[in-house]
């Protein structure tokens, strides 16, 4: 039985993906005390679940995005605005992660997308196993967008691959331009950046260029940067076009095969 959620998963059998064991290689000795050399990666199990998710998404041309940010950066608002702009072009499903309540999932449904709420209880991040179960419940259609709103937290979610195509890290202009230096692991693992609440720039001490310099220091490779205001709509057209282009490139091969 799975120790995480009590599901019937037994001993690392993962449906959609072959699994391999991390084997220990022992030395046989006569003495009682011995040392066993092993190579056991603490994140290997999560990675296997993530790769199973990734393969499942790829087979169906589903674009999965993992949204990570501090609580209050505007993740849910951005997702709701994105859904309103794109749900005419693509089916959209959302996986919501919060410690408690279904409040965010309700907001997403109001915006016009199907949503599955994961309540993590005392856990501070989503992992690939949880996302796999959510996907089973949600059954996103081929060629759809799957938006995963991670638990609001700039520390813990960074370590856990969910099987996403892109890790979208958000910060709002009310959080301070030095955020990327204070939470380097999160920004180092991003594949796209959203700077949100740009309508508030005239009222706060936030220099976007300085912030991007700090991002560059912990994330030297170039990545797409989107400046948005989820409430006024600033930057949303460009943001949605970026998503649409990514989704179309996944969907293209499926359309050719007649599967989407």
Partner 1 sequence: MHEMALAREIVRLTEQAAAEQHVRRVTRIHLQLGALSCAQPDALDFAFTACRQGSMLGEAELAIARKPALGRCPDCGDVSEMWSRLDGCAHCHGKMLLAEGGEELRIVELEVQ
Beta strand 192-196 with 166-172: parallel, antiparallel or unpaired? Answer: parallel
For residues 181 and 214, the answer to whether their CB atoms sit within 8 Å is yes
Contact pattern for partner 1 over residues 155 through 174, marking x by CB under 8 A = xx-xxx--------------
Query: Is residue 195 helix, strand or coil?
Result: strand
In whole angstroms, the minimum distance from the beta carbon of 199 to partner 1 comes to 31
Candidate list 45, 66, 82, 192; residue touching partner 1; CB under 8 A: 45
DSSP state of 157: G
DSSP state of 207: -
Q: Note whether 43 binds partner 1 by CB under 8 A.
A: yes
In whole angstroms, the minimum distance from the beta carbon of 54 to partner 1 comes to 19
Contact pattern for partner 1 over residues 186 through 225, marking x by CB under 8 A = --x---------------------------xxx-x-----
Candidate list 75, 125, 133, 197; residue touching partner 1; CB under 8 A: 125
Give CA–CA dist 67/83, Å, rounded.
14
Count how many residues are written for the chain: 260
Q: Note whether 42 binds partner 1 by CB under 8 A.
A: yes
Q: Note whether 10 binds partner 1 by CB under 8 A.
A: no
Residue pointed to by tokens 């109001």: 110
Footprint on residues 105-124 left by partner 1 (CB under 8 A): 123-124
Tokens of 206: 């936030």
For residues 217 and 181, the answer to whether their CB atoms sit within 8 Å is yes
In whole angstroms, the minimum distance from the beta carbon of 35 to partner 1 comes to 5
- Which residue, among 125, 147, 210, has the nearest Cα to 173 in the 3D structure? 210
Chain positions contacting partner 1, by CB under 8 A: 3, 21-24, 26, 32-43, 45, 123-125, 127, 155-156, 158-160, 181, 184-185, 188, 216-218, 220
């Amino acid at each position: 039985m799975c120790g995480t959620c009590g599901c019937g998963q037994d001993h690392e059998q993962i449906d959609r993906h072959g699994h391999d064991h991390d084997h220990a290689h022992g030395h046989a000795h006569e003495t009682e005390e011995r040392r066993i050399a092993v190579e056991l990666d603490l994140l290997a199990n999560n990675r296997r679940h993530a790769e199973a998710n990734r393969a499942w998404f790829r087979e169906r041309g589903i674009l999965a995005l993992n949204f990570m940010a501090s609580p209050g950066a505007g993740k849910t608002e951005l997702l709701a605005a994105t859904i309103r702009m794109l749900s005419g072009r693509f089916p959209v499903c959302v996986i919501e992660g919060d410690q408690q309540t279904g409040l965010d999932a309700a907001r997403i449904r109001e915006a016009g997308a199907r949503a599955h709420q994961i309540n993590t209880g005392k856990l501070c991040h989503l992992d690939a196993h949880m996302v796999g179960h959510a996907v089973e419940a949600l059954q996103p259609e081929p060629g759809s967008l799957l938006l995963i709103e991670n638990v609001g937290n700039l520390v813990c979610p960074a370590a856990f691959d969910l099987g996403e195509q892109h890790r979208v890290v958000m910060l709002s202009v009310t959080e301070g331009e030095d955020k990327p230096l204070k939470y380097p692991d999160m920004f180092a693992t991003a594949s796209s950046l959203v700077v949100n609440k740009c309508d508030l720039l005239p009222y706060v001490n936030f220099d976007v260029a300085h912030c991007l310099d700090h991002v560059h220091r912990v994330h030297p490779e170039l990545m797409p940067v989107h400046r948005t205001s989820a409430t006024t709509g600033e930057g949303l057209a460009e943001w949605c076009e970026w998503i649409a282009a990514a989704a179309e490139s996944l969907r293209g091969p499926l359309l050719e095969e007649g599967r989407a």
